[in-house]
């Protein structure tokens, strides 16, 4: 999955820039003004914390949904503000000599990143596709709730992180478009605390995400 | 009493020697169907008066005032079409102030002046047409607090947060078998005929029919599996002391039945194994007395007959016990978790219990010390490098009788009849709820705790031990120490395990 995501990212970033195309090509005029788009997306997040997530959830990937606002600036720049949500359910555990012993008590992890990104449109792919690459910062809120827990036993922390992303948007009809994006994020200590992640020194909340996106607004 | 025990032990040794010489002991005679139901004589509590202003040792939350509603506030649900002015007017009638509405609430929480009765205020406005309902903010309690009437005297369970542990696991299940290697258990109703031998200064009792009854609070016959008596060499390990019955109660007393007291792992099945002879076993000339070889055989028996947890509230001082150690290693190797009382010798030389002093070397066996009501080490609880965990075992020196561990056992008035003026045959069919203290009482807390973990899916003895240690509440010097080991057991923390973050 990681390899596929990487290839997709490379392919998107290797697209021919608009300035390299022939003068007769269909150059789009630079947007004369700032426009706003709304988007919603869904995808798969593959998290870096393989050991600690597998100890409780038996996996380190999950589907996520998100949405946000994009401000398209002149000169091919745009800025995104995006929030998303990912949830995993497993069982609380005890670690002993490298093995995980499940205790049958349900445990739910919810991750809500809020990200601010800046990207530049790097060119055009064919008639409609517009590739881009960029990066930004985010605040990643991880909360954990377990069966039989009281308020003092619920864990929650918010950690800062960075991300890089690349993708392409395809204009389908008027203000409606579809996009694909790959993102790599790094959130050191995002899973720190007194739990399994800290025991295993495996607390990076970041990962690789692959998502599809629906965009509406001024292109 | 020590002298008497010495005499009795000597007599039993003579009996054993006679047996070895080929002389058959007089077998006890079972009179089938001749048993009468047990007699429950209630609570036995002679709490010595404490000096005023004595140290507060009680930590029972049950002793604290516990209002059933939050003060000076109530819940109000207005009709959807009630105008804002009407709502304000209604609340002003009870001097109430609405607080900002919380998420997922379709009602309001209204604060009242201090001292205002929420129930009265709610009744005042509940009949108004703009109010759908109004009620005090009743407190929610834990899901499980046993309804056994004497549970409130069992400080030992709240002391280890058992009520919240029971929310996660209610007393294990009958799939888990806990072996109690002790003086036997009052698990069957019958009558046995014995011949009481003369032991100075007591006259011979001659032939006596001794009634036995199953302890009413230990449950029916289906609670018990593979009983074995290594003192009388039978399959009828009946208790002639009360110690084993008390311990079996801490592990598995029938709970939440509206009667008596509670046990920790109240759904397990018990394997009564008699390895310890009491005074009456000696007077009745039991063919065997407790010794290392007998204990070792009993441990093998328990491991081979399906026990998952083994409680050894017995021991001795003196030279090491390699036979018992080997037997425990055998049992642990077969997946049995072994709990041994650390010993009660702190004030008499602090010699280690030789059945416990190798506990630190065996992963899957723990040596358990004792704490009193304030979670301090009990005055008698042996210390040393072998100690791994502590659990409530009672400390009556600090808290009087009620600071002991309460369980059902025999009425000592009809068992301990070792006074010349009233010497006579005992009865083992009359029961009381009695307070005991000792590391013997601490160990079954850990045995029951292990049973809960087994039921929860942690079945490897070494993992159980590691989990108990990792989640113990550290007491005394930070980290492991010789007084409290890794600390006081914390069943709830262990049953919850670890999450990703916490």
The per-residue pLDDT for range B125-144, each reduced to its tens digit, is 998 999 999 988 876 544 57
Please tell me chain A's helix, strand, coil percentages from 3-state DSSP, rounded to the nearest 5: 15, 60, 25
Written as one string, the DSSP assignment of B340-359 is EE--S-TTTT-PPPTTTTTG
Report yes or no on whether pTM surpasses 0.80.
no
Residue given tokens 């425990």 in the structure block:
B328
**Start-to-end CA span in chain A (Å):** 31
Residue B354, C-beta contacts closer than 8 angstroms, at least 6 positions apart? B315, B316, B317, B318, B319, B320, B321, B324
Tokens of B108: 């309001």
What pLDDT score does B192 carry?
96
Q: Give B219-244 pLDDT, tens digit per residue.
A: 999 999 999 999 999 999 999 999 99
Report cis status (omega within 30 of 0) of the bond before B384. Answer: no
CA dihedral B154, B158, B160, B162 (to 10 degrees): 100
C-beta of residue A142 within 8 angstroms of C-beta of residue A156: yes
ipTM score of complex? 0.83
Residue given tokens 């079945």 in the structure block:
B459
**What residues of chain B lie within 8 A of the CB of A105, using their CB?**
168, 495-497
B48 pLDDT more than 70? no
- Quickly list H helices, B224-338: 243-252, 279-283, 292-304, 322-333
Residue B50, C-beta contacts closer than 8 angstroms, at least 6 positions apart? B399, B400
Task: Choose among B434, B442, B339: nearest CA to B393.
Answer: B442
Q: What is the DSSP letter of A1?
A: -
Task: Choose among A103, A71, A108, A114: nearest CA to A88.
Answer: A108
Of A92, A96, A107, the CB nearest to B466: A96
Q: Poorest-confidence range of A195-204, B30-39, B84-93, B282-291? A: B30-39
**What residues of chain A lie within 8 A of the CB of B458, using their CB?**
94, 101, 103
**What residues of chain A lie within 8 A of the CB of B457, using their CB?**
101-104
Contact status of B450 with chain A (Cβ, < 8 Å):
no
Is the Cβ pair A56, B456 closer than 8 Å? no
Q: Could you give the 3-state DSSP secondary structure of residue B156?
A: helix
Beta pairing class for A61-72 and A77-96:
antiparallel
CB pairs under 8 A between A and B: 90
The answer for A 59-118 residues in CB contact with B (under 8 A) is 92-96, 101-105, 107, 109
CA dihedral B295, B314, B255, B415 (to 10 degrees): 100
Q: Give A79-111 pLDDT, tens digit per residue.
A: 999 999 999 999 999 999 999 999 999 999 999
**What residues of chain A lie within 8 A of the CB of B501, using their CB?**
109, 142, 144, 155-157, 191-195, 197
Q: What is the DSSP letter of B485?
A: B
For residue B37, what pLDDT band results from cuts at 50, 70 and 90?
confident
The 10 Å Cβ neighbour count of residue B293 is 13
Beta pairing class for B269-274 and B309-312:
unpaired
């Amino acid at each position: 999955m990681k390899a596929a995501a990487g290839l997709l990212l490379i392919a998107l970033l290797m697209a021919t820039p608009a300035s390299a195309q022939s003068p007769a090509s269909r150059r789009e005029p630079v947007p004369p003004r700032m426009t706003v788009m709304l988007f919603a997306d869904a995808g798969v997040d593959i998290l870096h914390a393989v050991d600690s997530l597998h100890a409780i959830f038996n996996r380190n990937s999950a589907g996520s949904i998100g949405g946000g606002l994009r401000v398209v600036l002149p000169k091919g720049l745009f800025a995104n503000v995006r929030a998303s949500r990912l949830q995993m359910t497993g069982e609380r555990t005890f670690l002993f000599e490298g093995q995980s012993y499940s205790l049958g008590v349900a445990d739910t992890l919810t991750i809500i990143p809020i990200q601010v990104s800046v990207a530049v449109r790097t060119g055009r792919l064919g008639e409609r596709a517009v590739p881009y690459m960029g990066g930004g910062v985010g605040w990643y809120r991880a909360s954990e709730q377990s069966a039989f827990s009281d308020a003092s036993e619920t864990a929650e922390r918010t950690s800062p992180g960075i991300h890089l992303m690349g993708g392409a948007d395809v204009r389908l009809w008027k203000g409606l478009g579809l996009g694909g994006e790959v993102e790599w994020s790094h959130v050191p200590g995002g899973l720190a605390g007194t739990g399994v992640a800290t025991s295993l020194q495996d607390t990076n909340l970041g990962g690789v995400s692959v998502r599809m996106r629906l965009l509406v607004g001024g292109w | 009493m020590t002298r008497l025990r010495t005499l009795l032990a000597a007599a039993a040794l003579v009996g054993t020697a006679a047996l070895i010489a080929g002389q058959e002991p007089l077998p006890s005679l079972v009179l089938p169907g001749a048993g009468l139901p047990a007699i429950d004589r209630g609570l036995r509590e002679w709490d010595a008066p404490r000096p005023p202003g004595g140290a507060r040792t009680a930590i029972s939350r049950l002793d604290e005032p516990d209002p059933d509603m939050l003060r000076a506030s109530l819940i109000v649900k207005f009709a959807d079409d009630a105008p804002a002015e009407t709502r304000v007017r209604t609340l002003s009638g009870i001097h109430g102030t609405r607080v900002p509405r919380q998420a997922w609430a379709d009602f309001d929480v209204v604060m009242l002046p201090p001292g205002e009765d929420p129930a009265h205020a709610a009744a005042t406005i509940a009949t108004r047409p703009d109010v759908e309902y109004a009620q005090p903010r009743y407190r929610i309690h834990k899901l499980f607090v046993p309804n056994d009437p004497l549970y409130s005297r069992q400080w030992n369970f709240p002391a280890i947060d058992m009520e919240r542990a029971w929310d996660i696991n209610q007393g294990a299940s009958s799939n888990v078998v806990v072996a109690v290697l002790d003086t036997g258990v009052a698990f069957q109703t019958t009558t046995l005929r014995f011949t009481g031998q003369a032991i100075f200064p007591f006259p011979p009792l001659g032939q006596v029919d001794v009634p036995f009854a199953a302890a009413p609070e230990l449950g029916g016959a289906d609670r018990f599996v593979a009983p074995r008596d290594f003192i009388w060499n039978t399959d009828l390990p009946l208790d002639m002391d009360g110690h084993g019955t008390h311990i079996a109660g801490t592990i598995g007393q029938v709970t939440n039945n509206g009667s008596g007291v509670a046990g920790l792992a109240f759904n397990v099945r018990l394997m009564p194994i008699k390895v310890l002879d009491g005074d009456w076993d000696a007077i009745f000339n039991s063919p065997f007395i407790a010794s290392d070889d007998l204990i070792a055989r009993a441990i093998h028996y328990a491991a081979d007959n399906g026990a998952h947890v083994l409680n050894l509230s017995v021991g001795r001082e003196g030279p090491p016990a390699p036979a018992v150690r080997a037997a425990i290693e055998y049992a642990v190797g077969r997946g049995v978790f072994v709990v041994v009382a650390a010993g009660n010798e702190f004030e008499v030389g602090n010699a280690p219990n030789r059945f416990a002093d190798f506990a630190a070397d065996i992963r899957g066996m723990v040596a358990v010390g004792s704490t009193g009501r304030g979670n301090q080490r009990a005055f008698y609880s042996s210390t040393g490098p072998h100690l791994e965990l502590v659990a409530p075992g009672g400390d009556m020196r600090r808290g009087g009788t009620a600071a002991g561990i309460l369980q059902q056992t025999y009425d000592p008035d009809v068992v301990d009849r070792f006074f010349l003026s009233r010497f006579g045959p005992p009865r083992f069919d009359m029961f009381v709820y009695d307070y005991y203290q000792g590391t013997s009482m601490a160990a079954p807390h850990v045995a029951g705790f292990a049973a809960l973990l087994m039921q929860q899916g942690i079945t490897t003895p070494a993992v159980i031990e590691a989990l108990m240690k990792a989640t113990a509440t550290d007491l005394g010097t930070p980290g492991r120490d010789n007084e409290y080991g890794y600390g006081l057991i914390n069943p709830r923390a262990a049953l919850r395990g670890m999450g990703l973050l916490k």
